[in-house]
């Protein structure tokens, strides 16, 4: 039988002389094979057969509550957002077929950048095709060979990849540890270029960085500062600008990176900055230049969503209520959580190991609840997590239903 792509991977011997370049994946293939042969549903192959709203979808033929999306502000089905997308599709077509620096800048891309400048109150905004590319592009372009990037060890993969692409010296420090960060900064040779990269909310445990203190220290050592606000935009801060806004340090950040794939509810990435020379990035940043720009419908939905998020105070308040209720309820049930107090829209439930984590994930799915199963290398300290991310569109009643599902599944699997 030929190896069909729908067959689950199995550790197989390969004949011939050469080194099979896939052999480095054997431990992972074996682990996945063992997990699936125990009869568990593959947690990484779930299909949303129909999406009913920001908080509900049909999965395996069943109406399922979504508690594992990054749709924090529930903008994906906003009628104004949908209408803007349809209108752009009708008037500008399905795609730009070109780079931003050639034929791929439409009126909609400029309007999207205008919306971002207004949202953040900053001078410059540059839209990328994804948030991954925004980090990759900005970090690799500003920090090159001989420069130092001081970053939290739990930083997102796109941050590490940006450092590797730029060939900068990577100096990681212990997660959210102010003293460790300062120690690393002190050791950097005099006169070297320094960039400190931080995140507002860390997505695995849902914890917030002590940005006020960290940014103050970074600046006192002459470093430039980049903050990735992927998981805080739209929700944290009085105007939803993120943890920098809540910490009162917007004016001290050289670069804020964000994404449209979370609170904004579509796809794309961006960087905003007040640096007077920022516009040169459009010519020198390879992940901006050498890829096609976002389709007109995407930038139209993003711009509409960003403008609506400026007035999302009520939604932000409701999302905080949801986060507090879920966090408190799970804690009362006896689950071990990633943070002592709710700090963001992410509530991470720590599982004893991958096997029990996968079993709990499946039990929840049978209850009609989807959460994210996260495991190493994406997670810190080898943890297996069930990551719950709340949406401003989850009703109070839904959060109550979710807690009931966790209670039944947790007891069935023997975790509580």
Distances (CA, A) of 126 to 101, 131, 231, 272: 12, 11, 19, 6
Residue 190 per-residue DSSP state: T
| By the rule CB under 6 A, 135 interacts with ligand PMP | yes
Q: Which stretch binds ligand PMP (CB under 6 A): 92-100, 126-134, 172-180, 333-341?
A: 126-134
SS3 per-residue string spanning 67-125: CECCCCCCHHHCHHHHHHHHHHHHHHCCCCCCECCCCCCCHHHHHHHHHHHHHHCCCEE
* Residue 145: count of CB within 10 angstroms of its CB: 9
Task: Tell me which of 55, 69, 71, 158 binds ligand PMP, using CB under 6 A.
Answer: 158
Task: Tell me which of 261, 301, 322, 379 binds ligand PMP, using CB under 6 A.
Answer: 261
* Alpha-carbon gap, residue 167 to 160, rounded angstroms: 11
Which positions from 26 to 65 touch ligand PMP by CB under 6 A, shown as an x/- string? ----------------------------------------
Q: Which stretch binds ligand PMP (CB under 6 A): 45-53, 129-137, 183-191, 367-375?
A: 129-137
Q: Which stretch binds ligand PMP (CB under 6 A): 85-93, 124-132, 160-168, 397-405?
A: 124-132
Three-class DSSP category at 56: strand
Kindly identify the residues of this chain, within the stretch 240-259, that bind ligand PMP according to CB under 6 A: 259
- With beta carbons less than 8 A apart as the criterion, state whether 196 and 207 touch: no
* Closest residue by beta carbon to ligand PMP: 131
Quote the least distance from Cβ 264 to ligand PMP, whole Å: 9
Task: Tell me which of 228, 245, 393, 398 binds ligand PMP, using CB under 6 A.
Answer: 228
The distance of Cα 215 from the centroid of its chain, to the nearest Å, equals: 21
* Residue 329: count of CB within 10 angstroms of its CB: 18
| By the rule CB under 6 A, 151 interacts with ligand PMP | no
Q: Which stretch binds ligand PMP (CB under 6 A): 40-48, 130-138, 243-251, 353-361?
A: 130-138
| By the rule CB under 6 A, 232 interacts with ligand PMP | no
Q: Which stretch binds ligand PMP (CB under 6 A): 36-44, 87-95, 131-139, 245-253?
A: 131-139
* Alpha-carbon gap, residue 95 to 296, rounded angstroms: 6
* Alpha-carbon gap, residue 169 to 163, rounded angstroms: 8
| Beta-sheet pairing, 148-152 with 194-199 | parallel
Q: In 116-135, which positions are buried (b, 16+ CB within 10 angstroms) versus exposed (e)?
A: beebbebebbbbbbbbbbbb
Quote the least distance from Cβ 28 to ligand PMP, whole Å: 21
Task: Tell me which of 74, 104, 131, 234 binds ligand PMP, using CB under 6 A.
Answer: 131
Task: Tell me which of 143, 197, 205, 230 binds ligand PMP, using CB under 6 A.
Answer: 230
The residues binding ligand PMP (CB under 6 A) are 130-132, 135, 156, 158, 199, 203, 228, 230, 259, 261, 269
């Amino acid at each position: 039988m030929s190896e069909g792509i729908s067959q689950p991977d199995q550790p197989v011997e390969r004949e011939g002389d050469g080194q099979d370049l896939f052999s480095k994946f054997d431990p992972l293939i074996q682990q996945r094979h063992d997990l699936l042969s125990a009869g568990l549903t593959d947690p990484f192959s779930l299909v949303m057969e129909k999406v009913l709203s920001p908080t509900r979808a049909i999965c395996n033929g069943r109406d399922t509550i979504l508690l594992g999306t990054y749709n924090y502000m529930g903008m994906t089905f906003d009628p104004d957002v949908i209408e803007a997308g349809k209108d752009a599709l009708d008037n500008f077509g399905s795609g730009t077929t070109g780079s931003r620096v050639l034929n791929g800048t439409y009126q909609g891309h400029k309007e999207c950048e205008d919306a971002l400048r207004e949202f953040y109150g900053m001078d410059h905004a540059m839209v990328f095709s994804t948030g991954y590319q925004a980090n990759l592009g900005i970090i690799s372009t500003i920090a090159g060979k001989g420069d130092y990037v001081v970053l939290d060890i739990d930083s997102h993969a796109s941050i590490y990849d940006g450092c590797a692409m730029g060939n900068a010296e990577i100096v990681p420090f212990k997660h959210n540890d102010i003293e460790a960060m300062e120690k690393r900064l002190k050791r950097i040779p005099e006169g070297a270029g320094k960039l400190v990269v931080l995140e507002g909310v860390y997505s695995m445990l849902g914890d917030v960085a002590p940005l006020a203190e960290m940014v103050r220290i970074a600046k006192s050592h002459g470093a430039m500062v980049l903050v990735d606000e992927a998981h805080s935009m739209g929700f944290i801060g009085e105007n939803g600008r993120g943890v920098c806004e809540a910490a009162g340090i917007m004016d001290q950040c050289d670069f804020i990176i964000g994404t449209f794939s979370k609170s904004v509810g579509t796809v794309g990435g961006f960087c905003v900055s007040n640096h007077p020379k920022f516009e040169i990035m459009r010519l020198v940043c390879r992940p901006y230049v050498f890829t096609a720009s976002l389709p007109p419908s995407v930038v139209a939905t993003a711009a509409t969503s960003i403008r609506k998020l400026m007035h999302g105070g009520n939604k932000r308040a409701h999302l905080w209520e949801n986060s507090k209720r879920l966090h408190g309820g799970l804690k009362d049930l006896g689950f071990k959580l990633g943070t002592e107090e709710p700090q963001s829209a992410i509530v991470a439930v720590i599982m004893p190991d991958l096997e029990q984590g996968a079993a709990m994930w499946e039990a929840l799915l049978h209850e009609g609840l989807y959460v994210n199963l996260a495991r190493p290398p994406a997670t810190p300290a080898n943890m297996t997590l069930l990551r719950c991310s709340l949406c401003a569109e989850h009703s109070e009643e839904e959060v109550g239903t979710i807690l009931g599902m966790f209670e039944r599944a947790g007891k069935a699997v023997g975790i509580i």
